[in-house]
A = this chain, B = another copy of it.
Amino acid sequence: MLTSIKTGRLLHDAMAETSRLINLAIDDMLPDEEGDDGKLIRSMRYGCLGGGKRLRPLLVLQTSALFGVAQSCALRVAAAIEFIHCYSLIHDDLPAMDDSDLRRGRPTVHKEFDEATAILAGDALLTMGFEVLAEPATHEDPNIRCQLVAALASAAGAAGMVGGQMLDLMGENKTLDSAGIARLQRLKTGELISFSCEAGAILGKAPPPQRHALKAYAHDLGLAFQMADDILDATGSEDDTGKSVGQDAAAGKSTFVSILGLDQAREQAAMLARQAADHLEIFGGRADTLRELAQYVVERRG
Contacts and interface: CB of A to CB of B under 8 A. Distances in A.
B124 A126 contact: no
Contact of A166 (B117, B134, B158): B117
Given A39-B170, A127-B156, A134 B119 contact: no
A193 interface: no
Contact of A116 (B135, B146, B153, B169): B169
Given A115-B96, A165-B120, A153 B170 contact: no
Contacts of A163: 40, 124
A120 to B, nearest CB: 5
A153 B149 CA distance: 12
B142 A130 contact: no
Given A40-B163, A149-B134, A128 B116 contact: no
A186 interface: no
Main DSSP-derived SS at the A contact region? helix
A119 B73 CA distance: 32
Interface in A148-205: 149-150, 153-154, 156-158, 162-163, 165-167, 169-170
B128 A158 contact: yes
Contacts of A126: 123, 126-127
Contact of A39 (B115, B127, B157, B166): B166
B170 A36 contact: yes
Interface residues of A, number: 49
Contacts of A94: 119
A268 to B, nearest CB: 25
A41 interface: yes
Q: How many copies does the complex hold?
A: 2
Contacts of A170: 36, 39
A37 interface: yes
B158 A44 contact: yes
Contacts of A156: 127
A129 to B, nearest CB: 8
Nearest to A174: B36
Contacts of A259: none
A76 interface: no
Contact of A153 (B130, B142, B165, B167): B130
A131 interface: yes
The 3 lowest CB-CB distance pairs between A and B, nearest first, are: A131-B153, A96-B115, A134-B149
17 contacts: A37-B167, A39-B166, A40-B158, A96-B116, A96-B119, A123-B123, A127-B153, A127-B156, A128-B153, A128-B158, A130-B130, A131-B154, A134-B134, A134-B146, A135-B150, A145-B146, A146-B149
